[in-house]
Amino acid sequence: MWTLSLRGGARVAVVASQWCDAFGVVTRGRVQLELRDGEPGPVLGRDAGFWLRGTGVRALRNPGRRTARVRIIAPEARTVTCRSPNGGGTT
């Protein structure tokens, strides 16, 4: 488990291999999901939880001016390959 801090306007890419099976909970501020096609997705507020696996989210963005925090919960490192629901291709 770790905490991701996003300063106002900051954006962090979601790399599928690093975020496999990760569950996030917004603990401070608001976080906007950036969708696969680059379009803005929903804005999540405090206490909102979300899965990243299989969602097509390509980035997390802080739409506000104050620092937002997301608690990331993920299984311990292990030798498991995460597979895309579409077989690894793009849609």
pLDDT classification of 79: cutoffs 50, 70, 90 = very low
Residues 58-77, mean pLDDT to the nearest whole number = 90
Given a contact cutoff of 8 angstroms between Cβ atoms, the answer to whether 70 and 25 are in contact is yes
Given a contact cutoff of 8 angstroms between Cβ atoms, the answer to whether 31 and 43 are in contact is yes
| CATH superfamily name and code, 2-73 | Jelly Rolls (2.60.120.10)
pLDDT of 89 strictly over 60:
no
Domain boundaries, the chain: 2-73
> Count of residues for the chain?
91
In this predicted structure, what is the pLDDT of residue 87?
44
Rounded to a whole number of angstroms, the distance between the first and last alpha carbons of the chain is 31
pTM given for the model: 0.78
- Beta strand pairing status for 2-6 and 68-73? antiparallel
Q: pLDDT digit string (tens) for 20-65?
A: 788 999 999 999 999 988 899 999 999 999 988 778 889 999 999 9
Look-up of token digits 């106002």? 8
In this predicted structure, what is the pLDDT of residue 43?
98
